[in-house]
Amino acid sequence: MTTTLGVNTILHPVTDLEKAKPVYAALLGVEPMADSPYYVGFEAEGQQIGLVPNSDMTSPIAYWHVTDIEAKIKEITEAGGALKDAPKDVGAGRLVATLTDPDGNVLGILQDPS
């Protein structure tokens, strides 16, 4: 089995970025390091906290960082998980995918380029 590098990214679905940004800035004590109409990202104590508008997400998703996304998908699906969203490049070679556990909980995995 491959190990993870921990949960370093948590994405939150929001309906109004302009209303959500100051709330998360106050919570985290930092201003956004990425601010666009489709994603606002904060870097706080080694954590990436992202705000995602107009998404099909129904709750926050924690993304476990991995070194080999395909190997981790194989391990999770062989253990009884199901692939929800296949890996996709979200920019600069960063790959993300989501799976579900047997209860339908969403598991995010993320691979940064080497």
pLDDT (tens digit per residue) in 83-111: 999 999 998 999 999 999 999 999 999 99
Is residue 114 pLDDT above 90, yes or no?
no
pLDDT digits (tens, 9 = 90+) for 39-59: 999 999 999 999 999 999 999
Q: What count of Cα atoms within 13 Å lies in the side-chain half-sphere of residue 12?
A: 15
The correct CATH number of 4-111 out of 3.40.50.300, 1.10.520.20, 3.10.20.30, 3.10.180.10 is 3.10.180.10
* pLDDT in the model for residue 2: 87
CA angle in degrees (0–180, nearest 5) for 90-96-99:
145
Q: What backbone phi and psi angles, to 5 degrees, belong to 90?
A: -100, 10
SS3 of residue 107 by DSSP = strand
Q: How far from the centroid of its chain's Cα atoms is residue 57's Cα?
A: 11
Cα–Cα distances (Å) from 43 to 15, 79, 96, in that order, read 21, 33, 18
The CA-atom distances, in angstroms, between 31 and each of 8, 14, 48, 50, 60 are 18, 17, 12, 12, 20
What value does the mean pLDDT of the chain take?
Answer: 96
The span from the first CA to the last CA of the chain, in angstroms, equals 20
